[in-house]
Amino acid sequence: MHDKIRIAAIVGMEQCNLRVWREVSEKISAHAELTQWTDQDLEHQNPEAAEAIQNADCVFTTLIQFKGQADWLEEQLAKSKVKTIFAYESMPEVMQMTKVGNYVVSGDGGGMPDIVKKVAKMLVKGRDEDALYGYMKLLKIMRTMLPLIPKKAKDFKNWMQVYTYWMHPTAENLAGMFNYIMAEYFEVGVTARRCRRFPPWASTTPMPRIPERPAPVRKVAAQARQSIKTAPQHCNALLP
């Protein structure tokens, strides 16, 4: 194995967060070489992305929603020796690429713990062929079910834990996510920082300080307020 774990992250609609990804790459650089790609790299069949995927030890992908992109990604994975793939919130063809230890995803929902499979089928009214779609609907709420998952489903729990990190995508959490993956599946002696969760409406960026009004403006505003207070309620000065 290489001196460092090679991780290829392929994220749809992610052209605007390059600064965050640079921070993440720096934070895990002691143990990993992280490259980050978008759905546009799949769409245009970027040869550099192809090389990164083919040489990766681990692939993380999410928000891939088009068949052509999924097919090209599958072709690159077929040329690789990657054994660990985390896939989320994508079309079924991409979700089925998931390989996390003994945990895999299949079109009929195979690989899911029984309790999760039952809930997923309930969401699609019991249709086995649609179980994977129900599974995808569960992603947003499934982490609340983790205490109910049996210990033998460790790899499924790890898959969900990684998703929990991803749902709170600060640079610190994403670095913790990749450290968690390396500790669990690549025997890297690194401690993963616990995921710091934020409510959906929270901002992870400090609000800028609003400057006070300049002194002359404050003085004029005070005089105006005083004039309003002392003015007569019925003024006929403007009447002809």
Q: What pLDDT sits at residue 27?
A: 96
User: Who contacts 72 (Cβ-Cβ below 8 Å, separation ≥6)?
Assistant: 42, 45
Write down the pLDDT at residue 150. Answer: 73
Q: What is the pLDDT of residue 138?
A: 63
If one counts the domains in the chain, the total is 1
Asked if residue 231 is part of any domain, the answer here is: no
Per-residue pLDDT of 141-162, as tens digits, reads: 666 666 777 778 899 889 989 9
Say how far apart CA 27 and CA 35 lie, in whole Å: 13
Query: What is the Cα Rg of the chain in Å?
Result: 26
Say how many C-beta atoms besides its own lie within 10 A of residue 95's C-beta.
23
pLDDT for position 237: 41
Scan for tokens 């934020």, then name that residue: 198
Taking each helix axis from N to C end, the angle separating 154-166 and 171-185, rounded to the nearest 10 degrees, works out to: 160
Residue 120 inside a domain? The answer is yes
- Is there a domain that residue 238 lies in? no
Residue 211 domain-assigned? no
> Is residue 137, in this structure, part of any structural domain at all?
yes
Whether 196 contacts 173, CB under 8 Å: yes
Residues of the chain with pLDDT under 70: 1-2, 14-16, 106-146, 199-240
Cα–Cα distance for residue pair 12/239, rounded to 1 Å: 68
Does some domain include residue 105?
yes
Residue 20 resides in a domain: yes
Domain membership of residue 174 (yes or no) is: yes
Residue range(s) defining the domain that contains residue 73: 5-185
Q: Which residue do the tokens 């600064």 mark?
A: 19
